[in-house]
Chains A and B, each alone.
Chain A
Amino acid sequence: MPNVMIRIKDNGALLFYIAKKDQEDEIATVEKDTDDEWGGKIELTDGSEYYIDPITPRPSFPTTLRFKRA
């Protein structure tokens, strides 16, 4: 269950950053991404997948969230 900091990159994409692993990857797809809900299964550009229970309302980034490995 890594703590993940998500921030908005210059190109507008969301950057998924795990400090412990120095992992910086863009989020490719988010299962649920609307104005009032964000989360579910998340896929990164490197192919790895994570899961978070959908959050309502959509959190404002940057923020730190706790993910599960999917």
Chain B
Amino acid sequence: MSTNHMTPEETQALIQEVLEVYPEDAKKDRAKHLMVNDQEVEQSKKCITSNRKSLPGVMTVRGCAYAGSKGVVWGPIKDMVHISHGPVGCGQYSRAGRRNYYVGTTGINTFGTMNFTSDFQEKDIVFGGDKKLSKIMLEIEELFPLNKGITIQSECPIGLIGDDIEAIAKQTTKDVKKPVVPVRCEGFRGVSQSLGHHIANDAIRDWVLHNRDNDAFDDTPYDVTIIGDYNIGGDAWSSRTLLEEMGLRVIAQWSGDGTLAEMENTPKAKLNLLHCYRSMNYISRHMEEKYGIPWKEYNFFGPTKIAESLRDIASFFDDTIKANTEKVIEKYRAEYQAVIDKYKPRLEGKRVMLYVGGLRPRHVIGAYEDLGMEVVGTGYEFGHNDDYDRTIKEMGNATLIFDDVTGYEFEEFVKRVKPDLIGSGIKEKYIFQKMGIPFRQMHSWDYSGPYHGYDGFAIFARDMDMTLNNPCWSKVKVPWLIEDEEETAVAASA
């Protein structure tokens, strides 16, 4: 392996050095969020603190509860209208940014990329927005009659002025005879988007999940659901094909390219397959308790993890499915081996640093390793202890793990660890590119994708190669600095 591996002591020293500039209190607080990985540790809570309020004054990239509910969990449900209830900005600036692909005719029977908002004005804050809300819902019903339901995604002012959106929702449900779901995801709740996921899950539990409990359903023993795949760049589609080739029937997608009917039918499934643990474990646990549906976490990044996950899923079913699974893996072997043969020589030994959201800081590690790359640092924006528990085993010893890392810390870590590639979001992208370091957005796949499944792996490998081996990186330094270096070199050799 490469010689620039750090020892645990070196990594610890690096953390200390980076923390040095902080005032005493901030230093003490931030130290709890940074750790040196040790695979021996069974419980992350002993060495890292997570899901805590970010300190005022440090640069964090976290979102809010509204982002977690409207942007992540509810937004991709394509045949419902999601009203951003409150001032216009929250909805408009988050509109269609997440690239949750779906099939349908936008504005007719699907509404994913549209922005519906109650556009609060001063008078609505002063006199309340209840009347406006019921009026716009009736308007929506008239203008978009093919919608299957409406959700009310609260923005901050709704909670502050105390509007009773639950009462409006109940009344409108009676008027339009469709589910109307009030979601109390005001942005100020919680410390990050993570609580928004939880609130959205609870809203599904309370207002949607039981709607078809007494309806007949033509079930098969092979009914599964994909939970926590948001179909970014088509991820859920490239996952779904694999499950279907195994002989399973996917009866619901949560929530990428998903519909209200699929959500309502989920309790009829035999097994819930959970990709994004962070955002949808709540509803999976609920269904296990209420309906007795077991759930399994899986990972569809990179051939090693895909094969592992497919076999794990198959172990829940009979021998036909198990045999099919081996056939599926065999079928794609030539394809993914060709990808590895092509890109591994170009990427081998390269070191990656990640800082992303819900599942990717640990899930994509296997895909990088399949290409001979190594993840030397990883961290979650809004992970909890249970995420870090699952991460420790995936990461190498003495690697860096950071929670809710600040802009300053991230930059310093990068300067010192010198990764060959960084995977994070749009807010980090241009800083690191200007520092001359190859960068991929790992939230939106940098407008590429899908990355899930065997099909996705080929695209993932190509994208990483395209970024890392792009000739532009040698041109980033300005000419006068290059000359300076040459002069010093000449002076030194003289």
**A2 at interface (Cβ–Cβ under 8 A)?**
no
Contact digits for B213-251, partner A, Cβ 8 Å, 1 yes 0 no = 000000000000000000000000000000000000000
Beta-carbon contacts of B286-310 to A below 8 Å, as 1s and 0s? 0011000000000000000000000
> Is A22 among interface residues, defined by CB-CB distance under 8 A?
yes
CB <8 Å contact, A62 and B285: yes
The 4 closest A-B CB pairs, nearest first, are: A22-B384, A22-B385, A62-B289, A22-B386
Question: Are B386 and A24 in touch, CB under 8 angstroms?
Answer: yes
Residue of A nearest to B383 (CB): A22
- The reply to whether A17 and B43 form a contact with Cβ atoms under 8 Å apart is no
Chain A residues with CB under 8 Å of B43's CB are 25, 46
Chain A residues with CB under 8 Å of B285's CB are: 5, 7, 17, 19, 62
Beyond the given A19-B285, A24-B389, A46-B43, please list 16 additional residue pairs across the A-B interface where CB-CB is below 8 A. A5-B289, A7-B285, A7-B289, A17-B285, A19-B282, A21-B385, A22-B51, A22-B385, A23-B45, A23-B385, A24-B385, A25-B43, A62-B285, A62-B289, A63-B289, A64-B289
CB nearest neighbor in A for B50:
A22
* Residue of A22, A23, A62 with most chain B CB atoms under a 10 A cut-off: A22
Q: Can you list, as one digit per residue, whether each of B41-79 has a CB less than 8 Å from chain A (1) or not (0)?
A: 001010000010000000000000000000000000000
Min CB distance B206 to A, Å, is 15
* B384 partner residues in chain A, CB cutoff 8 A: 22
Chain A nearest CB from B253 CB (Å) reads: 24
Question: CB within 8 Å of B: which of A7-49?
Answer: 7, 17, 19, 21-25, 46
Bound CA–CA A27/B195 (angstroms): 27
Residues of the A chain whose Cβ atoms lie less than 8 Å from the Cβ of B282 = 19
- Kindly identify, within residues 60 to 113 of chain B, every residue whose CB is under 8 Å from any CB belonging to chain A: none
Whole-angstrom distance between the Cβ of B483 and the nearest chain A Cβ? 54
A17 to B43, CA, bound (A): 14
CA distance A22 to B288 in the complex (A): 17
Interface positions of A from 47 to 70, Cβ below 8 Å from B: 62-64
Q: Which single residue of chain A is at the shortest CB-CB distance from B385?
A: A22
Residues of A within 8 A of B51 (CB): 22
- Report the minimum CB–CB distance from B481 to chain A (whole Å): 47
Which A residues are in CB contact (< 8 Å) with B288? 7, 62
| B387 to A, closest residue via Cβ | A22
A46 to B41 alpha-carbon distance, docked (Å): 12
Q: What is the distance, in angstroms, from A22's C-beta to the closest C-beta of chain B? A: 4
Could you write out 21 A-B pairs with CB less than 8 Å apart?
A5-B285, A5-B289, A7-B288, A7-B289, A17-B285, A19-B282, A19-B285, A21-B385, A22-B51, A22-B384, A22-B385, A22-B386, A23-B45, A24-B385, A24-B386, A24-B389, A25-B43, A46-B43, A62-B285, A62-B288, A64-B289
- A45 to B158 CA separation, bound complex (whole angstroms): 43
Nearest-neighbour CB distance to chain A for B267, whole angstroms, equals 15
Question: How many Å from the CB of B282 to the closest CB on chain A?
Answer: 7
A66 to chain B, nearest CB (A): 14
CA distance A17 to B51 in the complex (A): 17
Could you tell me the distance between the alpha carbons of A7 and B290 in the complex, rounded to whole angstroms?
12
Cβ contacts under 8 Å, B386 to chain A: 22, 24
**Considering the chains assembled together, what is the distance between the CA atoms of A64 and B285 in angstroms?**
10
A25–B46 Cα distance when bound, in Å, is 13
Q: How far is the CA of A17 from the CA of B295 in the complex (A)?
A: 15
B58 to chain A, nearest CB (A): 22
With most chain A CB atoms within 10 A of its CB, the pick from B51, B282, B285 is B285
- Taking CB atoms, residues of chain B closer than 8 Å to A23 are 45, 385
Q: How far is the CA of A25 from the CA of B386 in the complex (A)?
A: 10
Q: What is the chain A residue whose CB lies nearest that of B388?
A: A22
Residues on the B chain within 8 Å of A64, using CB: 289
- How far is B77's CA from A24's CA once the two chains are assembled, in angstroms? 30
Taking CB atoms, residues of chain B closer than 8 Å to A19 are: 282, 285
User: Least Cβ distance of A31 to chain B in Å?
Assistant: 23
A17 to chain B, nearest CB (A): 7
Contact string against A for B residues 251-288, beta-carbon threshold 8 Å, 1 for contact and 0 otherwise: 00000000000000000000000000000001001001
**Chain B min CB distance to A69 (Å):** 17
A28 to B51, CA, bound (A): 27
Q: Which residue of B lies closest to A6 (CB)?
A: B289
Bound-complex Cα distance A46 to B51 (A): 20
Docked Cα-Cα span, A21 to B50, in Å, equals 11
- A63-B292 Cα distance, complex, nearest whole Å: 10
A23 to B43, CA, bound (A): 10
Closest to A24 in B: B386
Which B residues are CB-close (under 8 A) to A5?
A: 285, 289
Q: Which residues of A contact B289 (CB under 8 A)?
A: 5, 7, 62-64
Residues of chain B lying within 8 A (CB to CB) of residue A21: 385
Q: Which residues of B contact A7 (CB under 8 A)?
A: 285, 288-289
Q: How far is the CB of A65 from chain B (nearest CB, A)?
A: 11
Interface hits, B347-387 → A, CB 8 Å = 384-386
Within 8 A of A (CB), among B138-158: none
